[in-house]
Structure 1
Amino acid sequence: MSTPSPSPSSSPSSQPQPQPQSSSQSPSPIRVGALAPLSRPGWTEAGRHLLAGLELAVQETNAAGGIAGRPLELLVRDTAADPRRAEEAVDELDRLGAVALVGEYHSVAARAAAVRADARGLPFLCSSAVLDALTEEPTDRVARLAPPQSHGWRVYADFLLAGGHTRVAVATEPSVYWAAGTRILRDHLTPRGATVTELDARALSPGEIRDALAAGGATALLLLTGFPDPAVPIVAAVRRDPRLAGLLVGAPAGQPEFAEWAELLGEDGAAVPFLRYLPERPGPRAVRVGEELRVRLGAEPSFVAFEGHDTITVLAAALRAHGPDRPAVAASWPRTAVEGTRGEIRFDRPPGASFWQWTRPPVQITDRDPAAPARFRTLHTA
C-alpha cells in the first residue's frame, strides 16, 4: 500500500510514533518513507518510474505475507529535485515513524536527504542517485544501489576514447552533479591526450552552442544539462546543422532512456549514447518484473524502475532477517545478500567511501536505434 503525499511538515520529531492496532486487531503496517521527484523542476518521468518500481515491490511483498504478517506501507513524498524539500520530507517521515527511507533520483536531493536521515538515525537506501559524495561524514546508516558517478562516467569516457573522440565539448549548467561529471571526464580524458571544453548552457543559446562547436572542431558533445530544457533545443540545433553532421551527441546522465526524449526529438534523439544500469541479458526475474512494470507504467520500464523494485527487495529482506527496527536495518547492510532484477546485491565499503555501496551494479552504454528510435542498442558493457 502507499499513502499520498501531503505538504511536507516543518515540525520534525526524532521519536517514531507508535502505530496503534485497529479495532479489528489487524497488524499495524511497517512504514517506509519514499522520496521521488514527482513535480517540476524535478525529472518527473524518472520519478514516476522510480515510484512504479517501489510500489510494485511493496505490493509483491505484501501479497507474500508482508514482514512477519505486517504489511509494508509506503509514505511517498515529492522532492521536486529540491534539497530543502528533501530535508523537510525526511523530517516529516521521521516524525511519522518510518523505519527506513528509500528512493530519490536527483543527486542533490539525495545528498541532502542522506545527511538529514543520518542525523535523524533513519536508515536510507538510496535507489538511483550517483553522486560520489552522497554523505559528508562516514555513516553506517546509508547504503546505495546505483553505481558511483566516477565509475559510470569513466566507463563512458573510455567509450569515447575507443571511438576516437579526443576533442570533447560539454554543454553544462551550474550544479554540483554536472560539475562533478565534468571533473571526472576531464581527469580521465586529459591524461590520455584528449581535451574537454566547457560550453555554458545558461549563458549561450542553443544556436551559439552550435556555432561554437562548428568553430572549435569538437568531435563529441556531451549534454550535462537539464531536461527537457535546454537539452532538447541544443540537440535540435546541432542535428539540423550540416556543419556538424559527424558530431557525436552523448548524454551520460541518461536523458534518452525515457519516452519523453523520443516524443520531443523523434529521429533527432536517436544515436545519443547514455549510461544505463541494466544487464545486457535480463534473467527470468527481470523479465517477469519488466512485464509487470510495463503494465503499470503503460510504457517500457527504464532502469530507474528496476532500481526502485530492487530497493524494496533489499529492504524487505533486511526487515525479515533483522526486524523492523532502525538500528537493526542500518546494521544489516553489510550482511545483506539478495537476488535482485539486475544481479545479486551485496554491499561493501570501497576505499574512500563513506557509506555502504553495491559494488557490482551492471553498467552499459546504450542508444536509441536510428532505424527504430523506440528500440535500444547496447553499445558497450562494463
Structure 2
Amino acid sequence: MKGIFLARLTSFFRSPGTFLLFTGMSIVFTLILGGVGGYDKITVPVSGDESLQTEFIGEALEESDVYNFKWQEVEDLKETIRRGNAEAGVILKENGYEMIVGIDSSNVQMIEQTVADIYVNKIQEENISELLRTENEEEREELLMAYQEAKENPVFGITNRTFHSSDAFIFDRSLHSIFGFTLFFVIYTICYTVLPIFTQKGNGVWDRMILSPLKKSEMYIGNLIYSFFEGYLQILVIFFVFRYLVGFDFNGELPGILLIMAVYSFAIVSLAIFITSVVKNIQQFNAALPILSVSMAMIGGAFWPIEIVQSEFLLTLSKINPLTYGMEALNGLVLYNQPIQELLKPISILILMGVIFMGVGIHLMERRHI
C-alpha cells in the first residue's frame, strides 16, 4: 500500500499538469466571475474647496461604508459623468451641494440621501456649538450637561434588524464562486486520479501484482488514498490562495471549511470509483465525466444558488448529488454562521454517499470480467 502511494506520488511530481490545470482554472474562474478581491465600494466623484476636505463634511464622506468619494476638479467631475464612468457626482459647497446625474438609478437617490444626511448633521453640530457659546456661564454649563446627557441617553433608540422568511436566502457572489468552482473542478482532478485503477486492471497489471505479497485491498487503499490526497491538496491550494494572497477571510471559518471539504473529497473519490466501475472503456469515461460533472454543478448549485431553481424534478435530483450537500454545508457554516454541530445532516449524508458509492463501485468492478 505504501509503495503504491509513493509510486503515484512520484508520478505526480513528474507530471503535475492535470493538477495545475484544474487548480488554476478554479482560481481564474473565481476571480473573473466572482469579483473576489475587487473593490466593493461604488466610486462617486466629488468636487469642492480644499477646506471642505479636511472639515466635517470631508471627514464624514471618507467614513462612508458604501461609497468611495473621490475628490476631483469640477471639469474632471463633469467629464467623468459625461463618459459614463460614474452614475452621479456631487459639487460640495459650504452651505449646500449640487448633484450632477449621468444615469438616473436607485444609486443616485442613495448618494443624495447620504450627502444630505451629512449636511444635516453638520448643521446640528453648528447649532449646538452656537448654543454652547452663550455668554451666560451658568446657562452654558446647563446646556453642556443637557447635551452630554442627551448623547449618552438618547430619547429614541434605533435598531437595525434583517428578517429572512422561510423562502429567503443569503447570497454572496464571491463566496459562492469560490465554493462552487472549487467543488466543481475537484471532481475532474479526483476522477482522473482514480482512472489508473481502471486502466491497470484492464492491462493485467493488478493480476501480476497479486502474485506478490501485496493484497488486493492494499492496492485499492493505496490508490484511493492518493486520489484523496491530490484532490484535497487542490482544495488546500485554492483556499490558501484566496485566504493569504487575495485576503479573503471566509468570516474566520477556514478550519471548518477544510473539514467539510475533506468529507466532500471522500464522497467524490467514492463517486469516481462508481463511475469507473460502470463504464466499459476510457472513451466512455472521458465522455461521461464532463456530462456528469457539469450536471452535478448545475443541479447542485455550484453555478447559481439552488434556491432559485423552481423545477421539482431538478430539486429531487439534487438530493442524490454530493455537490448539493457540499454547498449546503459550506453556506451554512460561512453565510448563516451555523456551528459544525448543526451541519451534521449534510456532512452525514456525504459520508453515507461515500460509503455507498465506494461499496457498490468496488463490488461492480470486482464482478466485471476484465
TM-score normalised per structure 2? 0.26
Compare the two structures and name the one with the higher helix fraction: 2
Compare the two structures and name the one with the higher strand fraction: 1
